[in-house]
A = this chain, B = another copy of it.
Amino acid sequence: MVHQKFQEQSIVVPPEDLYEPIEYILSMGGKRLRPILMVMGANLFTNKLDEVWLPALGIEIFHNFTLLHDDVMDNAPIRRNKPTVHKKWNDNVAILSGDAMSIKAYQYIVSCDDHHLRQVLEVFNQTAMEVCQGQQYDMEFETRMEVSQEEYLEMIRLKTAVLLGGSLKIGALLGDASPGDAQLLYDFGVNIGVAFQLQDDLLDVYGDETTFGKRIGGDIVSNKKTYLLIKALELAQGEMQAKLVLHLNRKEFDPDEKIAVVKDIYDKLKVKEYSQKLMEAYMDKGIGCLEQVSVDACKKKELFGLVERLLNRSC
């Protein structure tokens, strides 16, 4: 249904160069996870979903705006198996189309009813600002040698998880949930979001290239300080530590060799297992929040099912 609502919308108006890239990135598809969460969040409390569709599109447009600008900042060539906007057009087109998308996102977000407008905007503004903070930390960590587990988890909370929590909370508010229930859904989303990102990091190393849509091992090649690397640096000792640091510091290397060596170290240190355990802890905490939401258990089935599918995915 969310996918269908997307196809019905077309936001092409002149000048073409501003809107074509917006259509392009939105047409790439993706899971539409955030709008789905918003609609499901509302659907826990109401069957009248008319008011939710446009804000749900808004949250997806906002998410894609952040992807578009992140791709410029990370100089990423590929997104969902296609050239990124700044590669297909250029940096300026990507910057300006992103700016237009962020405003377009607001136009959709504010199309809720007047009596929800203030609350919805407060959640959305705070969430949007935190996503920027998360991206800033992510970039900072690239040039910092030492990043702690706590710092990493806070970064992914801001960059990824709060937008899932915010989507659910806005949905809940649009469904006239109590403040307590809206907050529980937010906490559910944030915890599931951290779990989701930990899994994304795992898939970057252990996933399948075709279904994942990105090159496997990219995080290893770029020394991205994921939980896996941070944990490996904490656990490695002696010869293994020296080997890991050597490969991290090499300026010139064969990417496939580096991936193989680092993966081997990960395997020996069992960082995959540590990461999976942490992921499960966040998942359990999130599920605990959803269980406390004061609606019939049968209404929560769909959200539980979604979490189940999300965290057992291969792409």
Contact = CB atoms under 8 A, between A and B. Distances in A.
Interface of A: 14-15, 17-18, 69, 72-73, 91-92, 95-96, 98-100, 102-104, 106-107, 110, 114, 117-118, 121, 125, 128-129, 132-133, 135-137, 139-140
A95 B95 contact: yes
A109 to B, nearest CB: 10
Nearest to A115: B114
Contacts of A107: 125, 129
B139 A96 contact: yes
A18 B138 CA distance: 12
B125 A121 contact: no
Given A15-B140, A96-B69, A139-B92, A103 B117 contact: no
13 contacts: A14-B133, A15-B136, A15-B137, A17-B136, A73-B91, A73-B92, A96-B132, A96-B139, A99-B99, A106-B106, A106-B121, A110-B121, A117-B117
Identical subunits present: 2
Contacts of A15: 133, 136-137, 140
Contacts of A99: 69, 98-99, 102, 132
Nearest to A102: B102
Nearest to A92: B73
Nearest to A106: B125
A172 to B, nearest CB: 20
B73 A96 contact: yes
Nearest to A65: B99
Contacts of A117: 114, 117-118, 121
B102 A125 contact: no
